Amino acid sequence: MHEIEAAAELLTGVGIVRPEIEKAVRNLLDAFGEDECREGLERTPERVARMYDELLAGYRVDPYALINEAVFDIEYDQMVIVRDIEFYSLCEHHMLPFIGRAHVAYVPTDKVIGLSKIPRVVDLFARRLQVQERLTRQIADFLDAALHPTGVAVVVEGLHLCSMMRGVKKANARMVTSAMLGSFKSNDATRKEFLDHISRGSPILSV
């Protein structure tokens, strides 16, 4: 079984246990020296539990079910790019957010995917505890397995609050990761065409 299929099978249906999260948040507030019963914090454990239920929703979605009715047999063999896809994720090391943009391209053989599904795939994998390197590779590997294209390319640019708010405290440091599969890895011209497209007028790359 393909690695992504196996991961989907294991993770689909896993839910957030809200009472346990609420209990953990109360313990944290107590450890911080706060009074969980004061007006501003009274419902904070409940709010935090609901937040994690939303931010980690990617664990409960089967990516194949997500795109099932939006893969079409179309004769098209040129590059397809969806760029500047905003994403929000949580770093698994400190559970602080990292945010940014993903640029995704593929060269189809005989199947294309509906436009809205690529941002949904990015969101699905972003809404888990992540590291940017794994997120980049999961997006590329899944599209490669689902569409069997000639090639897939993913570039992810992220701002990480764990290095902005703490540690080195570098507010403008950006992390860029890429995954190049098939023709994007083996063909310099194909890779250059993709990189030229995403660098043209990009809000992040042009800075």
What is the rounded distance in angstroms from the CA atom of residue 142 to the CA atom of residue 164? Answer: 30
Per annotation, catalytic residue among 20, 42, 86, 92:
92
Looking at per-residue confidence, does 140 or 68 come out higher? 140
> Is 160 annotated in the active site?
yes
The pairing of beta strand 111-113 with beta strand 97-107:
unpaired
Average pLDDT of the residues in 77-86? 97
Q: Which pLDDT value is given to residue 169?
A: 84
Per annotation, catalytic residue among 5, 34, 162, 193:
162
> Is 39 annotated in the active site?
no
Q: Which pLDDT value is given to residue 203?
A: 53
Domains by residue range for the chain, with CATH:
17-55 (no CATH), 70-199 (3.30.1130.10)
Per annotation, catalytic residue among 130, 132, 138, 157:
132
Per annotation, catalytic residue among 94, 103, 130, 133:
94
Instruction: Please check the confidence at residue 174 and state whether its pLDDT lies above 70.
Output: yes
Q: Which pLDDT value is given to residue 9?
A: 42
Per annotation, catalytic residue among 2, 9, 93, 148:
93
Q: Which pLDDT value is given to residue 202?
A: 55
Instruction: Please check the confidence at residue 6 and state whether its pLDDT lies above 50.
Output: no
Tally of CB atoms within 10 A around 28: 14
> Is 37 annotated in the active site?
no
With a CB cutoff of 8 Å and minimum separation 6, the contacts of 137 are: 154, 179
> Is 197 annotated in the active site?
no
CB 147 within 8 A of CB 77: no
CB 15 within 8 A of CB 50: no
Model confidence pLDDT, tens digit, residues 19-54? 999 999 999 999 999 999 999 999 999 999 999 999
Per annotation, catalytic residue among 91, 103, 130, 157:
91
Instruction: Please check the confidence at residue 205 and state whether its pLDDT lies above 50.
Output: no
Model confidence pLDDT, tens digit, residues 89-132? 999 999 999 999 999 999 999 899 999 999 999 999 999 999 99
- The model's pTM is 0.88
Instruction: Please check the confidence at residue 1 and state whether its pLDDT lies above 70.
Output: no
> Is 148 annotated in the active site?
no
Q: What is the mean pLDDT of the chain?
A: 90
